[in-house]
Homo-oligomer: A and B are copies of this chain.
Amino acid sequence: MMQKICIMGLGYIGLPTAIVAAEHGFEVVGFDIDIQRVERINNYDPVIQEPESIERLQPLIASGAFRATTILEAADCFLIAVPTPFKEDKKADVSYVIAATQAIAQVLKKDDVVIVESTVPVGLTDDCARLLEEKTGLKAGEDFFVAHCPERVLPGKIFFELVNNPRIIGGVNPESVTRTKLFYKQFVKGQLYLTNATTAEMVKLVENSSRDVAIAFANQVAAMAYATRLDPFEVIALANKHPRVNILNPSCGVGGHCIAVDPWFLVETFPEQSQLLQTARTVNDAKPLQVVSLTRSWIQEWQERNEGIPTVLVLGLTYKADVDDMRESPALAIAEKLQKYSDINLLVTEPNVAQTTLESLFNDAVVSLQEGIDCADIIICLVPHKQFKDIDHSATRNKKILDFCGLTYKPHVETSEQEALFWPANSLQSMTPFEPYKAGSIHKTIFDKEFF
């Protein structure tokens, strides 16, 4: 019988999983090496910024259904949810997973189940099983059971997705799958896909790599469009009218802890089979600097036509829209680069992050959205937060707008039942600095301002 669960690592995955497991009748112990974190949790502080976490944590701590500890104890099931970052050389840092496994070895007993939820390089779950065999003398797949069950939850919707998402359970042998699913069946409503550990590991890495390659393609289309002075969002919107084409929107870069990291785990294991993933990483990593460079050249254009120092407003600093997380954020990196130039007056606005945090980075350059719009000569759109979508466009009429995230793109004008006008004028006229493409002498005649 699986009654007592030990969750290793009380971060964005471990803590919500511990809470949900405890709510579903398991006796749950949360293990973490950070004593302060453990004490805060035991004092009803959820430590993570996730909706519902306070309300759901408190009754479980009060009733004793869940408690945190720094001293590992025996359990029926161990769930590893520690970080796997990458090192300077882009190799996976699996030391936390190995340390967790070694700790488990000290308390592992017959019939226990060990689940790796951390994202890991292909083959590591089998290596963990071997390590446990070596340390305990027990036999993996017979005496104890090991599986990889990759997490896939969206920050901000973790409690919903933990229950409703489909899960992949990959065992080191079939019996390990059978034992592991007993845990997830208690609370997962989504489909359970059962496979082996190696397949599960590769599936998780392939999912995130596929997003990375798709974003890199969008960023390449954007670069080609910029070079031609076309609107990249227009090109992509039109291409997506093809029934089998679905290009993502370009952005100012790829941030966060998954999509920019996981492809390197595959590159490390498969250097000869991953050229496309490597190129995609190079393309996406280069994007923030390209944004800075395009911004610089547009500032120069402004300076050729105007007197004085332009006021440049950056819209958005987080790593993606509608989150409060600035870690690994390309928008933040871009703003920090722009801060170094003395020939502009930089302003930043970020409605999802506390004023004090912003001021510690940008001092008095931090403004409200309205203040920024009022003062700016040039507006640089980096993150399409929902607050930015309500900007009154009459207030931006005489300003130069550089939109790297599609915030200002209006898809098209339906001119009749059968027709939709995508003439660049819609989005380019006042909202972006682009002029129509002028390649040869003909363009001077044909692409005249009057047409727009």
Contacts and interface: CB of A to CB of B under 8 A. Distances in A.
Interface of A: 122-123, 126-127, 129-130, 133, 139-141, 152, 166, 168, 172-174, 177, 181, 185, 191-196, 198-200, 202-203, 206-207, 209-211, 213, 216-217, 220-221, 223-225, 227-228, 230-231, 234-236, 238-239, 241-242, 244-247, 266, 269-270, 272-277, 279-280, 282-283, 412, 415, 418-424, 436-437, 439-443, 445-447, 451
Contact of A282 (B191, B225, B270, B275): B275
A139 B444 CA distance: 12
Contacts of A423: 174, 177, 194-196
10 contacts: A133-B442, A195-B234, A207-B242, A211-B244, A213-B217, A213-B276, A224-B266, A224-B273, A275-B282, A276-B280
A198 B228 contact: yes
A413 B168 CA distance: 14
A126 to B, nearest CB: 5
Nearest to A134: B442
Given A227-B273, A228-B202, A418 B185 contact: yes
B199 A234 contact: yes
Nearest to A174: B451
A198 B223 CA distance: 15
A192 to B, nearest CB: 5
Main secondary structure of the interface of A (DSSP, over half): helix
Contact of A194 (B206, B280, B422): B422
B198 A437 contact: yes
Given A220-B276, A224-B273, A276-B216, A241 B166 contact: yes
A173 B193 CA distance: 54
B191 A420 contact: yes
Nearest to A414: B191
Of A185, A199, A235, A445, chain B has the most CB atoms within 10 Å of the CB of: A199
Contacts of A173: 446-447, 451
A439 B126 contact: yes
B191 A227 contact: no
Contacts of A419: 181, 191-194
Contacts of A235: 199, 202-203, 206
Of A202, A207, A420, chain B has the most CB atoms within 10 Å of the CB of: A202
B273 A238 contact: no
B239 A206 contact: yes
A131 to B, nearest CB: 9
Of A123, A216, A235, A236, chain B has the most CB atoms within 10 Å of the CB of: A235
A196 B436 contact: yes
A133 to B, nearest CB: 7
A446 B140 contact: yes
B225 A130 contact: no
Given A123-B440, A168-B241, A195-B234, 15 more contacts: A126-B442, A126-B443, A127-B439, A127-B440, A140-B446, A152-B242, A172-B447, A181-B419, A198-B436, A206-B239, A210-B239, A213-B217, A217-B276, A224-B270, A275-B282
A235 B193 CA distance: 12
Nearest to A248: B244
A223 B275 CA distance: 11
